[in-house]
Amino acid sequence: MGQKINPISFRTGIYLDWESRWYAGKKDFARLLKEDRQIRTFVRKEFHGAGIPKIEIERKADALRVIVHTAKPGVLIGRKGVKAEDLKKQLEQVTGRRVSLDIMEIAKPELDATLVAQGVSEQLVKRAAYRRTLKRAIMQTMERGALGVKIVIAGRLGGSEIARVEKQSQGSIPLSTLKADISYGTATAHTTYGAIGVKCWVYRGTLASAQPKIASEGTA
CB neighbours (10 Å) of residue 5?
A: 10
Check whether residue 102 and residue 12 sit in a common domain.
yes
Residue 88: give its domain's CATH number: 3.30.300.20
pLDDT of res. 76: 86
Q: Are strands 54-60 and 20-21 parallel, antiparallel or unpaired?
A: parallel
Check whether residue 73 and residue 153 sit in a common domain.
no
Check whether residue 57 and residue 134 sit in a common domain.
no
Model confidence at 138, in pLDDT bands (50, 70, 90)? very high
DSSP 147: S
Check whether residue 120 and residue 70 sit in a common domain.
no
Cβ atoms 109, 115 nearer than 8 A: yes
Examine the pLDDT at 32 and tell me if it is beyond 60.
Answer: yes
Whole-number average pLDDT of the chain: 87
Check whether residue 102 and residue 13 sit in a common domain.
yes
pLDDT of res. 2: 65
Structural domain count, the chain: 2
Q: How far is CA 10 from the centre of its chain?
A: 17
Check whether residue 103 and residue 114 sit in a common domain.
no
Lowest mean pLDDT among 27-41, 73-87, 110-124: 73-87
Examine the pLDDT at 148 and tell me if it is beyond 90.
Answer: yes
pLDDT of res. 207: 63
Residue 152 sits at φ, ψ, to 5 deg, of: -125, 130
3 state SS of 161: coil
Check whether residue 174 and residue 87 sit in a common domain.
no
DSSP 18: P
Q: For the residues 193-205, what does the mean pLDDT come to?
A: 94
Q: For the residues 176-205, what does the mean pLDDT come to?
A: 92
Cβ atoms 149, 199 nearer than 8 A: no
Check whether residue 122 and residue 60 sit in a common domain.
no
Lowest mean pLDDT among 3-7, 52-56, 117-121: 3-7
Model confidence at 220, in pLDDT bands (50, 70, 90)? very low
Which residues, 6+ apart, have CB-to-CB distance to 1 below 8 Å?
none
Model confidence at 118, in pLDDT bands (50, 70, 90)? very high
Cβ atoms 147, 140 nearer than 8 A: no
pLDDT of res. 216: 47
**Residue 210 within any structural domain of the chain:** no
Please state, in angstroms and rounded to a whole number, the distance separating the CA atoms of residues 85 and 94: 14
Examine the pLDDT at 173 and tell me if it is beyond 60.
Answer: yes
Check whether residue 162 and residue 113 sit in a common domain.
yes
Q: For the residues 174-186, what does the mean pLDDT come to?
A: 89
Check whether residue 62 and residue 113 sit in a common domain.
no
DSSP 177: -
Instruction: Give the model confidence (pLDDT) of 65-97 as tens digits.
Output: 999 999 988 888 888 888 889 888 988 888 888
Domain that holds residue 97: 7-107
Instruction: Give the model confidence (pLDDT) of 150-159 as tens digits.
Output: 999 999 998 8
Q: For the residues 54-70, what does the mean pLDDT come to?
A: 90
Residue 194: give its domain's CATH number: 3.30.1140.32
Check whether residue 57 and residue 78 sit in a common domain.
yes
Instruction: Give the model confidence (pLDDT) of 10-21 as tens digits.
Output: 888 888 889 999
Check whether residue 96 and residue 119 sit in a common domain.
no
pLDDT of res. 162: 94
